[in-house]
């Protein structure tokens, strides 16, 4: 089932990836740099955020005005910075979601990759609150909604005894201190944890791609700047606790779960969020588990050069002091838990050369399931029957096309785990032993190799830029690198293979490396238009779900009543004087003359409108000893118009009637927000 979902996901992914390959080229395709692109958008957020911080005022009165000043008066700079800040935050979520989906559908989250996968989850718990607190600071109508719903969520946790949401129900209860706390959380607290979290996320990876290629950065920045100029980010009217707008433009990227609070209690939403996070966390260990045999070091052949350590993309090899008494200083040691059995280290080992004459070829490090010796035998066997003057041998990795259909009398195929599994000496060997006239290395998408660095190392080794280098005597025109993708572009591949085959007999009129260039992914003549369209579409996707669909928080023609107060029930037992005899029995430091049992009665509240009971609850006292206040917080939607309200509360444990009552008649206007409170000193209810 899981693999069916993954296969379907791969198909969905690879279609746009193929189109973008045509426009951007394989290496500069943004869909192949999603993790680093997310980091780049976070950079834009940081830089624009610093500008905003300079002008932002952290107070209830100043917050909205200062943001408006930037947006309207300083639109050319402050406004652009604000828009960049918002849109880059949304773009980061778009690339982040794609990053997660991609790792999942291509099954790059199991085995040793579990570490990156699991450490990604806390990043979600940091980046989403980062956006939420940002919306809070603007102090517009959306901010008020965000403040209320976030507080309702936090109130459901056993952290605060009083209701936090009550702080946002009326102008009187708003406090500047809260704003300062929020600004600190948004500007300093969460970003610090996020940076630290990203560092942990990639720290076990060898050479993580932290920055996307420069051209991608330019494209991403330009798309955000143009978006900011064409469609500047705006506030949604100053926050007014006395009014509830019927609908809001919700940023669905950050606030996706908030509307659920309209239908479900906060505890249910917490269960959903925590359950989903836990499910992601355990995903790497869910069946079907696959763990091929990891590479083994053969000390007889290891000279301690350390190339395998440099090339392993997953830091799964360490150098250790020599243990077998040989003259070399160190030896390679494989950390089995981190090894993904890609074989890239085998391709880096100087001893993994097919030229060795020993009958059983053994490398310093080798894949037990597909040793260098086995690969050499496979090549010999596959090329044996080849005929003609344009004989081709194709090496294909597991991430490239299924090329079986190309096998014929002049084309042989050898399948590998990763293209970097074979050292360059194999190409030399095939050509110098005249096993074929040309060699094609067909790897998975360049810049997006299944094993991260396999394509890059292969290219560098074949270009003689990285050890082990392709020997100079090998004619470049007889080697082609074909960066392909499974499922798509097969037609392109066929054309490329045929084009390369043709070059094999026309060596003199083909320039250096032209052959391999021909078989790289074909580039469309309208590339610049494609690139502009792709970034334009990305900008639209980044902004569209921040304004559409609008979230209707209140049915048309309705108003809201918030019941909210804290009140301590009477004590279960009255205080009484201790007798002398009782005092004598107590240790001297505990001889208080009066004894006051702490436990309190619950508070019962009933609220009706036009003689219909809309709310009736018995609220338990807070605190471990049941001695704290009972807190009521409830929002009730009512049609606008005239209503007779009555409220009753009992705090003495009585089952019939109430200790305090209040009545009033109000004419509610559409979108009006009325708060019902209890004044403990005057023992009266207030409707305001
Ligand atoms: C702020 C959020 C995140 C950022 C900035 C980020 C960035 C990155 C970067 C730069 C890499 C290294 C890519 C490479 O060099 O090949 C990476 C790898 C990875 N990320 Fe993320 N990531 C984020 C969140 C997540 C999340 C939420 C998950 C999954 C739950 C995830 C799963 C992975 C996995 C599995 C890898 C390893 C890929 C491999 O070994 O081939 N990431 N991430
Ligand atoms: S096979 Fe080699 S390169 Fe690949 S993960 Fe294992 S040790 Fe690293
Ligand atoms: S590359 Fe080969 S020879 Fe060099 S340290 Fe690794 S296993 Fe030993």
Which two three-digit tokens encode residue 471? Answer: 């020997």
Q: What is the pTM of this model?
A: 0.89
Which two three-digit tokens encode residue 213? Answer: 């290629």
309 lines ligand 2 (CB under 6 A): no
Please report the pLDDT score of residue 627 as a whole number: 87
Please report which ligand is nearest the Cα atom of 298: 3
pLDDT tens-digit map of 244-258: 999 999 999 999 999
Instruction: Give the start-end residues of each E strand in 191-327.
Output: 247-248, 296-297, 317-321
Among 300, 303, 372, which residue has the most ligand 3 atoms within 8 Å of its CB, making it the best to mutate?
303
- Atom 11 of ligand 1, residue of closest alpha carbon: 35
Judge whether residue 546 has pLDDT over 90. Answer: yes
Distance from C-alpha of 257 to C-alpha of 272, rounded to nearest angstrom: 10
Please report the pLDDT score of residue 515 as a whole number: 45
Expressed in angstroms and rounded, the spacing between residue 21 Cα and the centre of ligand 3 is 36
pLDDT tens-digit map of 84-122: 999 999 999 999 999 999 999 999 999 889 999 999 999
Which of the pair, 586 or 288, is modelled with greater confidence?
586
Return the ligand 2 atom nearest residue 340 CA: 5
pLDDT tens-digit map of 125-168: 999 999 999 999 999 999 999 999 999 999 999 877 777 888 88
Please report the pLDDT score of residue 352 as a whole number: 92
- The DSSP call for residue 564 is E
pLDDT bin (cut points 50, 70, 90) of residue 26 is: confident
Span of 253-267, 320-334, 588-602 with lowest mean pLDDT? 588-602
Return the ligand 3 atom nearest residue 317 CA: 6
Please report which ligand is nearest the Cα atom of 277: 1
The DSSP-derived string for 590-647 is: G--SEE----B--EEEEEEETTEEEEEEEE---STTS-S-EEEEEEEEEESEEEEEEE
- Atom 2 of ligand 2, residue of closest alpha carbon: 345
In the predicted model, what is the mean pLDDT of the chain?
90
631 lines ligand 1 (CB under 6 A): no
Span of 6-15, 450-459, 515-524 with lowest mean pLDDT? 515-524
Please report which ligand is nearest the Cα atom of 453: 1
Please report the pLDDT score of residue 289 as a whole number: 74
Among 301, 308, 334, which residue has the most ligand 3 atoms within 8 Å of its CB, making it the best to mutate?
308
455 lines ligand 1 (CB under 6 A): no
Burial of 677 per CB tally in 10 Å (0-12, 13-18, 19+): buried
Judge whether residue 34 has pLDDT over 90. Answer: yes
Expressed in angstroms and rounded, the spacing between residue 331 Cα and the centre of ligand 3 is 7
pLDDT tens-digit map of 286-331: 987 778 899 999 999 999 999 999 999 999 999 999 999 889 999 9
Phi and psi at residue 677, to the nearest 5°: -125, 170
Please report the pLDDT score of residue 517 as a whole number: 44
pLDDT bin (cut points 50, 70, 90) of residue 359 is: low
pLDDT bin (cut points 50, 70, 90) of residue 484 is: low
Please report the pLDDT score of residue 358 as a whole number: 59
Expressed in angstroms and rounded, the spacing between residue 343 Cα and the centre of ligand 3 is 12
Please report which ligand is nearest the Cα atom of 32: 1
If you average pLDDT over residues 669-677, what whole number do you get?
95
- Atom 27 of ligand 1, residue of closest alpha carbon: 120
Which of the pair, 352 or 493, is modelled with greater confidence?
352
Expressed in angstroms and rounded, the spacing between residue 39 Cα and the centre of ligand 1 is 10
Expressed in angstroms and rounded, the spacing between residue 308 Cα and the centre of ligand 2 is 8
**Residues 201 and 118 sit within 8 Å (Cβ to Cβ):** no
Judge whether residue 512 has pLDDT over 60. Answer: no
pLDDT bin (cut points 50, 70, 90) of residue 177 is: confident
Which two three-digit tokens encode residue 211? Answer: 């920055």
pLDDT tens-digit map of 521-530: 455 567 889 9
Please report the pLDDT score of residue 524 as a whole number: 59
């Amino acid at each position: 089932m899981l693999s069916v979902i993954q296969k379907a996901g791969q198909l969905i992914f690879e279609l746009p990836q193929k189109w973008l390959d045509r426009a951007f080229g394989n290496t500069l395709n943004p869909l192949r740099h999603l993790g680093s692109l997310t980091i780049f958008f976070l950079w834009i957020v940081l830089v624009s955020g610093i500008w905003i911080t300079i002008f932002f005022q952290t107070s209830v009165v100043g917050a909205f005005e200062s943001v408006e000043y930037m947006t309207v008066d300083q639109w050319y700079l402050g406004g652009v910075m604000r828009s960049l800040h918002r849109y880059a935050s949304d773009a980061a979520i778009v690339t982040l979601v794609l990053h997660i989906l991609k790792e999942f559908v291509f099954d790059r989250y199991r085995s040793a990759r579990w570490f990156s996968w699991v450490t990604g989850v806390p990043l979600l718990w940091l980046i989403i609150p980062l956006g939420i607190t940002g919306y809070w600071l603007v102090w517009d109508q959306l901010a008020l909604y965000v403040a209320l719903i976030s507080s309702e969520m936090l109130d459901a946790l056993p952290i605060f005894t009083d209701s936090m949401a009550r702080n946002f129900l009326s102008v009187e209860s708003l406090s500047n201190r809260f704003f300062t706390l929020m600004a600190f959380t948004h500007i300093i607290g969460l970003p610090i944890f996020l940076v630290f979290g990203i560092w942990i996320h990639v720290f076990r990876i060898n050479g993580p791609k932290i920055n996307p290629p420069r051209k991608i950065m330019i494209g991403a920045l330009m798309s955000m700047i143009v978006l900011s100029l064409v469609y500047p980010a705006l506030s949604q009217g100053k926050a007014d606790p006395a009014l509830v707008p019927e609908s809001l433009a919700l940023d669905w990227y950050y606030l996706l779960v908030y509307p659920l609070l309209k239908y479900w209690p906060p505890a249910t939403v917490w269960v959903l969020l925590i359950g989903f996070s836990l499910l992601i966390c355990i995903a790497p260990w869910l069946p079907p588990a696959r763990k091929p045999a990891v590479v083994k070091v053969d000390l007889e052949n290891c000279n301690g050069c350390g190339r395998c350590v440099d090339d392993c993309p997953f830091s799964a090899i360490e150098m250790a002091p020599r243990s077998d008494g040989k003259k070399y200083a160190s030896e390679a040691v494989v950390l089995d838990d981190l090894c993904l059995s890609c074989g890239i280290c085998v391709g880096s080992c100087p001893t993994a050369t097919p030229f060795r004459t020993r009958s059983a070829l053994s490398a310093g490090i080798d894949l037990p399931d597909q040793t260098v010796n086995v690969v050499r035998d496979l090549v010999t066997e596959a090329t044996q029957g080849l005929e003609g003057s344009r004989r081709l041998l194709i090496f294909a990795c597991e991430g490239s096309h299924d090329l079986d259909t190309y096998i014929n009398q002049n084309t042989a195929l050898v399948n590998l785990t990763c293209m970097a599994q074979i050292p360059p000496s194999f190409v030399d060997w095939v050509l110098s032993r005249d096993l074929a006239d040309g060699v094609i290395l067909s790897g998975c998408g360049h810049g997006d190799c299944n094993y991260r660095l396999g394509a890059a190392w292969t290219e560098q080794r074949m270009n003689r830029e990285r050890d082990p280098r392709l020997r100079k005597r090998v004619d470049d025109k007889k080697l082609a690198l074909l960066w392909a993708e499974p499922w798509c572009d097969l037609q392109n591949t066929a054309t490329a293979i045929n084009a390369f085959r043709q070059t094999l007999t026309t060596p003199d009129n083909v320039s250096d490396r032209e052959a391999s260039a021909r078989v790289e992914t074909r580039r469309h003549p309208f590339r610049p238009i494609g690139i502009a369209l792709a970034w334009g579409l990305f900008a639209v996707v980044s902004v569209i779900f921040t304004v559409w669909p609008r979230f209707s928080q209140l049915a048309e023609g309705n108003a809201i009543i918030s019941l909210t107060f804290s009140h301590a029930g009477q004590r279960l037992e009255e205080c009484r004087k201790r007798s002398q005899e009782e005092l004598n029995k107590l240790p001297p430091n505990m001889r208080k003359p009066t004894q006051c049992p702490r436990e309190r009665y619950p508070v019962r509240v009933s609220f009706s409108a036009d003689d219909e009971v809309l709310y009736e609850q018995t609220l338990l006292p807070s605190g471990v000893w049941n001695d704290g206040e009972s807190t009521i917080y409830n929002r009730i939607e009512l049609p606008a118009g005239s209503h007779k309200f009555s409220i009753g509360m009992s705090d003495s444990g009585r089952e019939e009637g109430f200790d305090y009552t209040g009545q009033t008649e109000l004419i509610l206007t559409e979108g009006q927000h009325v708060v019902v409170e209890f004044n403990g000193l005057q023992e009266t209810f207030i409707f305001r």
